[in-house]
Amino acid sequence: MGLNYYHIFKRVKEARKLVIKGITAAGSGHPGGSFSMAEIMGCLFYKFLKYDPKNPLWPDRDRLVLSKGHASPGLFSNLAVAGYFEKSEIETLRKLGSKLQGHPDFKCPGVEFCGGSLGLGLSFSLGMALAARIDKKNHHIYTIIGDGESNEGQVWEAAMAASKYKVDSLTVFLDRNFIQQDDYTERVMPLDEELVGDDISEMWKNAARWKVGDKWRAFGWNVLEIDGHRIEQIVKAINTALQVKGTPSIIVARTIKGKSVEHMEDNPKWHGVAPNPQISPIIDLELDCQFLISPSIIAGDMTNLENEVKRAAHGRSDFIHLDVMDGMFVPNKTFDYEKIKQLRPLTTIPFDTHLMINDPVKYVKNYVDAGCDIITVHAEVCDESSFGEIHDVLHSNDVSVGLAINPDTELPVWSEKFIPTLDQLIIMSVIPGKSGQKYIEATHEKTQRIYKFLQDKKFEGLIEADGGVDLTNIESCFLDGARVFVGGSAIIGQKDVRIMICEFRKKLMHARRKLLIQKAHSLGGNDLVNKWIDLHEVGKKKTELLQIAKEAGFV
């Protein structure tokens, strides 16, 4: 089965939005830790956990224990998205009589552990796992603990006991975001190495400083270390942990407190502070402004595609774009599913496969079996019936569904019925068939128009800009409404892929900040612009925001 990337991605974003809605309505709560574990929760709820929202106490369900209970908004939002209760109930967070309290409580369906005092969740989880063993049950227990919480001695007592009893039905996530209530963890009680100064990025960059995995190994655990915001890494780690017998597993997930909201990221202040209601609509837009970069490997050495995949992976690309050409739908020919099958073991990064082929309904299952995570077919070679068949094959195999249109093609009428469940729309900005072409300027207006149309039709996926995208036009493409960006000659065609991806991200961040400042101004004029900018206390973000605001005449 596929990664189900967009299915998870879209629900993670929705859950984050509900966290902001709930905490804003309550006037209190914990956004930072809810956001640092957001992708972990998304992968568990929408890929792995066995549960039934209509029967929350189903005996054979898997158990999810949130030991860091102050991050309850992150749990409640996912329970709402998963169908345990109406999403509108998130606005009752922390209200008297609400099932959604400041910490998880059994009155809320789906809650398995009343989290309050830190340090208890792992012991509780171990008890559940041992009870399941006695009862000959095979459900799995997943537990999320915090790094500040790991100051508690009971965590390590439970760690010893779980190892002693060889509890392999227990998988723990350590949400390693380097921040606890009052300060950075490495200045309070270091798990890795003492942090001197405030540059938390040093803890991320230098793997020689990461010691916590060694601590857990010394306690007899199977240890996996990942980037806790990369969906594909989380999924691989869970799958690996589930195969381990005779030993409990811990996944040390390096995360960012407040991830996806710039002013909250890596700032201890946002451990437990609610946004101002004036600011929440800007945050909502910011969550819609997440972007992904998908280098196209055919712009590199076609005789050594393995190396091009490795270069994209080394550059920390979000996707790897695979342009499949059959020499019929387009004049050129590249590779097919057999080559993709050979490339698949090289990386866990999602394969974003663009089929520029005739009659894709005949071949789509081959690309599913080859390990593609997103498969996009062209509207020009489909009708409602064939695309419906492709749509169903992909969804049933947990593969994300994409539709592409050429520069001279509009969305066909038949496509409208699929828009609510479509994951990705590629709007081609060059004539498909070869790399190195210049961006067709008319695509800007076309993308803007289609973006507005899709919003009206409840499209929850992302628009992908493909063809001639480079550093001169990527900001405009973002402002048009695109959120996935294919880089061929501009990324893979360059000597240092990592540097080029970094440059792409800088441009996209600039465009995103510009859009958010415009939103702030539309909501509250210069006063709100200044309030928004002042929230950005960590790093050099504030300097760039001030410059953008000055250029717009807002400060």
Please list, in sequence order, all residues whose beta carbon lies within 8 angstroms of the beta carbon of residue 362, skipping any fewer than 6 positions away: none
DSSP string, 115-143: --STT-HHHHHHHHHHHHHHTT----EEE
Instruction: State the pTM of this model.
Output: 0.97
The predicted structure's pLDDT at residue 437? 85
pLDDT band per the 50, 70, 90 thresholds, residue 377:
very high
What pLDDT sits at residue 210?
86
CA distance 270 to 468: 40
More confident: 538 or 498:
498
| pLDDT value at 30 more than 90 | yes
Inform me whether the pLDDT recorded for 463 exceeds 80: yes
Of 540 and 25, which is predicted with more confidence? 25
Q: pLDDT band for position 435 (50/70/90)?
A: low
Q: What pLDDT was estimated at residue 542?
A: 93
Q: Does residue 94 carry a pLDDT above 80?
A: yes
Q: What are phi and psi of 485, to 5 degrees?
A: -130, 120
> Residue range 284-296: average pLDDT?
98
Rounded CA gap, 54 and 489, in Å?
51
Write the pLDDT tens digit of every residue in 245-256: 999 999 999 999
Residue 206's pLDDT is 76
Give the list of residues 6+ apart from residue 539 with CB closer than 8 angstroms, or none.
Answer: 266
State mean pLDDT over 525-530.
97
Contact status, residue 440 vs residue 429, Cβ threshold 8 Å: yes
pLDDT confidence of residue 19:
98
Q: What is the chain's mean pLDDT, rounded? A: 95
**Extended beta strands in 365-461, E state:** 374-378, 400-405, 424-428
Structure token digits, residue 205: 């960059």
C-alpha distances in angstroms, 552 versus 18, 444, 546?
Answer: 31, 22, 10
**Residues 178, 32: Cα–Cα separation, whole Å:** 11
* Mean pLDDT, rounded, for 392-408: 97
Burial class (CB in 10 A: 0-12, 13-18, 19+), 135: exposed
Split at pLDDT 50, 70, 90, the class of 203 is: confident
Provide, rounded to the nearest whole percent, the portion of the chain with pLDDT above 90.
Answer: 91
The pLDDT of residue 366 is: 98
CA distances from 62 to 24, 98, 171, 448 (A): 31, 25, 11, 44
Does the pLDDT value for residue 116 go beyond 80?
Answer: no
Q: Could you report the per-residue pLDDT of 43-93, keeping only the tens digit for each?
A: 999 999 999 999 999 999 999 999 999 999 999 999 999 999 999 999 999
pLDDT at 186: 87
Instruction: Return the bridge partners of 224, or none.
Output: 251
